[in-house]
Amino acid sequence: MSEQTLQAIVKAMVADGKGLLAADESNGNIKKKFDKLGIEDSAENHRRYREMLFTTPGMEKYISGVILFDETIHQSTSDGVSFAQYLDSKGVVPGIKVDIGLMDFEGHPGEQVTKWDETLNDRLKKYYELGARFAKWRAVINIGAGIPSDECIAANCKNLVKYAQLCQANGIVPIVEPEVLSDGDHTIERCYEVTKKTLIELFAQLKKANVDLSGLILKPNMVIYSLEGEKVSAQEVAEKTLQCFSEVVPTEVGGIVFLSGGQSEPESCVTLNAISKLVKEQKTPWKLTFSYGRALQNSALKNWIGKDENKFSSQEIFLHRAKLASAASFGEYTPEME
């Protein structure tokens, strides 16, 4: 693994037509997925599943980087090549999820803050040695009656900033992910308001801490309707998302990679496509692409179900989804491509 500047790593991660595969499900989350499909939950099956995805021929045409989980970065292909080394050999940047989950925010019912981890600096050094060149930290902002509070937004942003500083000090690109959840029945206008407020706080703190924004990637939610609320068009999602970003995201930010936020595989392409088209029209200053987990993996996992004989057909399904997400990142996706 070569040493590169943060900016060079960012550039590779947001290369035209490519996006990130979020394969960083915790052991608890992957167990839920496996249980639902009757796949035995074991470290070896986790490894086999990730190997099926990572060794997909041609994946590197559409995937620029992969976010790994701690267990996965210590695992290898069947041939004994570490996953990080294997991905790097394909020109895919290995990354690592480093947050250790959520805890209740004391004194604020219904709100959560990502746990701080005093061992983070040591872990980042080890992950760099293992080949990781970017990291991800997720904060969660809930929308509900009287929430989020200013205190909760500020506390989550404070941890994101401390994490970003440590990453850059260790030669690792930080992905900062302040996810405003789509759970609930709020309107898209409320999502806009909370997303804007969160991003204002985040970038104020990042600038105050002298974090290099050109060596950082933002992983935000789209400004979108809630799961139980009234749906709006992809065009409105695109307009509100870019309006929000143009008001508060500094032009020097290295790149923006969207999370899918519970959207289905086709929905995540439709909304990204609408955003990408508008980006071209408005000539926005940032590179925008995708960082999808479920929206790239769901169909492939359901087809694979832990069976070796399903490996190649599952890889074809995964590659197809990656190709569609890539097309959407250019604004060239159509539902007929499904």
Gyration radius (Cα) of the chain, Å = 19
What's the rounded Cα separation, in Å, for the pair 131 and 82? 9
Sign of CA dihedral 11, 16, 18, 22: positive
Please say whether the beta carbons of 123 and 167 come within 8 A: no
CA 49 to chain centre: 19
Which of the residues 25, 51, 111, 177 is marked catalytic? Answer: 177
Residues 6+ apart with CB under 8 A from 163: 98, 99, 120, 135, 137, 174, 176
Q: Which of 18, 97, 196, 219 is catalytic?
A: 219
219 catalytically annotated: yes
Annotate 20-44 with b (16+ C-beta within 10 A) or e (fewer).
bbbbbbeeeebeebbeeeebeeeee
d(CA 217, CA 57): 27
- Give the pair of three-digit tokens for residue 59: 């994946």
Based on the residue annotation, tell me whether 228 is a catalytic residue of this protein.
Answer: no
Rounded to whole angstroms, how far apart are CA atoms 223 and 218?
Answer: 14
CA 5 to chain centre: 21
Copy the structure tokens of residue 79: 């041939």
Catalytic residue IDs? 177, 219
